[in-house]
Amino acid sequence: MAAQRIWIKNPLAVFTPEGIDGQGGLVIENQQIVEVLAAGQSPSAPCDETKDAAQHVVLPGLINTHHHFYQTLTRAWAPVVNQPLFPWLKRLYPVWARLRPEALALASQVAMAELLLSGCTTASDHHYLFPDGMEEAIDIQVEVVKQLGMRALLTRGSMSLGEEQGGLPPQQTVQSGEAILEDSLRLIRRYHQRGAGAQIQIALAPCSPFSVTEEIMTESARLAAQEDVRLHTHLAETLNEEQFCLDRFGLRTVDYLEKVGWLGPRTWLAHGIHFNADEIHRLGAAGTGICHCPVSNMRLASGICPTLDLEAAGAPVGLGVDGSASNDASNLMYETRQALYLQRLRYGAERITPQKVLGWATRGSAQLLGRSDIGELRPGMQADLAMFRLDELRFSGSHDPIAALILCGAERADYVMIAGKWRVVAGAIPDMDLDSLIARHRAAASALIG
């Protein structure tokens, strides 16, 4: 039987790479984009399905590069609503230490469903909580990814520096270096897919300088190089963290990163706010990626990532919603809009355009995850895309469709395709009972707070 061909026909607007006219639409075959048609062009061969996109703006599927799915259980929790990072963390750690497998499964479903409905097709999660009984946390997340049909880069996070050793997290949330590395290897061998079209990948992700030992940083870098997987951590999020590194290691954050063997193109960092000019230059020269998390950085009042300076130095920049205890939405369109506004405060209105921030949310994010098969609408790329309507009240009277998506605040995709399959249809996830999921997730969230 011939492959199924789908024509996404004559979109209202389409976000294609510069110089490519996509007004005639896209042809999908075998999970890939095989043709991008200019205005007035038709597919080179007959299609089995035609999706009229005259009312839709078509984007590459958005890519989220930093999250903590489990934190959807502690959104808008009163004791930390008005706290900066360190006190926020110290108050939340004991709550998070009570996480159980069923609650993580529900939290992952909620976070991923929310991302998917916002037009996100690939998500990375940073899970670093493995208290007793949670040894299979990543395995649980793999099942949820399969159920939703999304792509995911699940990072095997870790914490090994407890309060007793001068770290920030309580002792019951940290693991031995041996246990961390053994499980990391198990997960890579079991789940990590390679090459174009991969659905599930694994990366290694010690949590932060103040929650892991120097040894686990070094060993994770060694293991990642040996197994050829990516490295991820939080870095330069707050000035408290910078002071912690000076006190404990006698080094600034980027010096520490370099010392433990992480300053290279395999690494992407969440936040990346507090860098000096020399550090920006070194990160760029190394090709180390930065995940900008504007809402989290505003909520915790951490600072503003120097995105354009990092890019000019050579560092790829992408976007992340960050965990739901510091955002508290898992909506990547909403995040993209916030990136535009926050970055305009730093770089001005003329340099931070809707196209710029959409580029971060798509091809920039793809670069952070080490992928060249997603993030752009052109022939040969995976068929991952999101389609938005502009007939809601919020868009009424708008003119430029791409600008309207960002400036009027699009937040829910109408159709989403991943690897050639429709995963959101008419604004809903087929076969998912959202009311039931919300009821169960809310119950789990109440139980966790105790």
Task: Please tell me whether the peptide bond between 328 and the residue prior to it is cis, using omega within 30 degrees of 0.
Answer: yes
Q: Which is nearer to Zn ion, 244 or 388 (CB)?
A: 244
Q: What residues numbered 309-328 form the site for Zn ion, per CB under 5 A?
A: 322
| Residue showing tokens 């990160």 | 283
Q: What residues numbered 273-302 form the site for Zn ion, per CB under 5 A?
A: none
For helices 214-227 and 177-191, give the axis angle rounded to 10 degrees. 20
Q: Residue 207 CB, nearest distance to Zn ion (Å)? A: 9
Q: Which is nearer to Zn ion, 258 or 322 (CB)?
A: 322
Q: Residue 296 CB, nearest distance to Zn ion (Å)? A: 7
Phi, psi dihedrals of residue 63, rounded to the nearest 5°: -125, 120
Q: Residue 67 CB, nearest distance to Zn ion (Å)? A: 8
Strand pairing class (231-235; 421-424) = unpaired
Q: Which is nearer to Zn ion, 114 or 322 (CB)?
A: 322
Q: Which residue's Cβ lies closest to Zn ion? A: 322
Q: Residue 407 CB, nearest distance to Zn ion (Å)? A: 27
Q: How would you label 395-429 residue by residue, b for 16+ Cβ within 10 Å and e otherwise?
A: beeeeebbebbbbbebbbbbbbbbbbebbbeeeeb
241 in contact with Zn ion (CB under 5 A): no
Q: Which is nearer to Zn ion, 322 or 411 (CB)?
A: 322
Q: Which is nearer to Zn ion, 242 or 322 (CB)?
A: 322
219 in contact with Zn ion (CB under 5 A): no
Q: Residue 185 CB, nearest distance to Zn ion (Å)? A: 24
The token duo for 25 is 């639409």
Q: What residues numbered 107-126 form the site for Zn ion, per CB under 5 A?
A: none
CA dist 276 and 293 (Å) reads: 19
Q: Which is nearer to Zn ion, 175 or 296 (CB)?
A: 296
The token duo for 392 is 């809601």
CA dist 1 and 76 (Å) reads: 52
Q: Residue 203 CB, nearest distance to Zn ion (Å)? A: 14
237 in contact with Zn ion (CB under 5 A): no
Whether the CA torsion 156, 107, 300, 166 is positive or negative: it is negative
- Interface contacts to Zn ion, rule CB under 5 A: 322
